[in-house]
Amino acid sequence: MSDAYDNIIVETRGAAALRFGWITLNRPKALNALNDALMDELGRALLSFDADDSIGCIVVTGSEKAFAAGADIAMMKPNDFPSAYMKGLISRNWDTIRQVRKPVIAAVAGFALGGGCEVAMACDMIIAADTAKFGQPEIKLGIIPGAGGTQRLPRAVGKAKAFDLVVTGRMMDAAEAERSGLVARVVAADQLHAEAESAANAICGYSLPSIIASKECINRAYEAPLSEGLLFERRLFHALFSTVDQKEGMGAFLEKRKPDFKQG
Ligand code: DAK
């Protein structure tokens, strides 16, 4: 499989023991509209970082003007139901992000609309520039969200605001997105990359088994009843006592020194 990317830029960054992957969506003329080629490349880059033992997490970002303005409308328009259904229109490569076990941070500036908002929501946390605008404007195109907009948005912001956004197609600015719980942090646009790097470096400074266990447990909160989620958390909590890193983390605290995690 080729390592060449035409629609994204892929870098490795970071200063901690583990480094982090940095993926920039890069179709600037179309405001990073998400076509098959871009989604294939994004999936390939995510899986490649996920499989790399030297990588602790991944940041996905766009341009100053757009994280992504949605799935590519020109690509979608010619389809009818049989072709969309039978070929699974823009489906296979939109689920790849769910296979990634390491944390994925979306660093969003400008438009995150439709599929762009859905990609950001499929990440584990969103850090937004104060210029960010989120929305699910599919209603204006005679369709509905198709990659989780009607499912992840209500879980993030509640039914009332999700309904408002989906049926009016209006955009929500970064401040409203933070107030509503969609976004973890909002920073000045010129600080977006520094903030995302700082979060990624913090994650990369910890023990990867406990980071991945955190992600699995938090995701479980969406899928399981509370009693099952609590049990799952308890099992992973106990399991982490079999790691070298638990001995190191607790030992370092008690010896008043920085831990040196071995990722195992
Ligand atoms: N697709 C294709 N091209 C797009 C695009 C898009 N989503 N968004 C923008 N562009 C293109 C414009 O056509 C324009 O191209 P040129 O005319 O220069 O060739 C260029 O980007 C610049 O856009 P504008 O001239 O419109 O720029 P403005 O600043 O005036 O406006 C805007 C920015 C973001 C408000 C506007 O471009 C806009 O409303 N864009 C469309 C936003 C939208 O409707 N997004 C939702 C698309 S539907 C699924 C997975 C995903 C999806 C569904 C299913 N499965 C897994 C099943 C997702 C669906 C969608 O996202």
| Residue 30, phi then psi, degrees to nearest 5 | -110, 25
Among 61, 206, 69, residue whose Cα is nearest residue 129: 61
Per-residue model confidence (pLDDT) at position 65: 98
Query: Distance, CA 116 to ligand 1 centroid (Å)?
Result: 9
Per-residue model confidence (pLDDT) at position 92: 76
Unique residue bearing structure tokens 């229109």: 89
Per-residue model confidence (pLDDT) at position 253: 98
pTM of the predicted protein model: 0.97
User: Is the predicted pLDDT of residue 25 greater than 70, yes or no?
Assistant: yes
84 lines ligand 1 (CB under 6 A): no
% of the chain at pLDDT higher than 90: 92
| 138 annotated active-site | yes
Q: Which two tokens stand for residue 225?
A: 């009843």
User: Whole-angstrom Cα distance, residue 156 to residue 22?
Assistant: 25
User: Whole-angstrom Cα distance, residue 40 to residue 18?
Assistant: 26
Query: Distance, CA 31 to ligand 1 centroid (Å)?
Result: 7
Tell me if 29 sits within 8 A of 42, measured CB to CB: no
% of the chain at pLDDT higher than 70: 99
For residue 261, the one-letter residue type is F
Per-residue model confidence (pLDDT) at position 87: 83
Can you say whether the dihedral through the CA atoms of 176, 180, 182, 183 is positive or negative? positive
User: Whole-angstrom Cα distance, residue 255 to residue 259?
Assistant: 10
Q: Which two tokens stand for residue 264?
A: 């195992």
141 lines ligand 1 (CB under 6 A): yes
For 50: left if phi > 0, alpha if psi spans -120 to 50, otherwise beta; the answer is alpha
Active-site residue, selected from the candidate residues 14, 56, 114, 115: 115
Q: Which of 55-69, 73-87, 104-118, 229-243 has the lowest average pLDDT?
A: 73-87
For residue 107, the one-letter residue type is A
Q: How far separated are the first and last CA of the chain, in Å rounded? A: 30
Determine the angle formed by the axes of helices 244-254 and 208-223, rounding to 10 degrees.
Answer: 110
Mutate to test the pocket of ligand 1, among 73, 89, 143 (most ligand atoms within 8 A of CB): 73
> Could you tell me where the DSSP H helices lie in the chain?
36-50, 73-76, 81-87, 115-122, 149-157, 159-168, 174-180, 192-204, 208-223, 226-239, 244-254
For residue 259, how many C-alpha atoms fall within 13 Å in the half-sphere facing its CB?
18
pLDDT, tens only, 156-193: 999 999 999 999 999 999 999 999 999 999 999 999 99
User: Is the predicted pLDDT of residue 2 greater than 60, yes or no?
Assistant: no
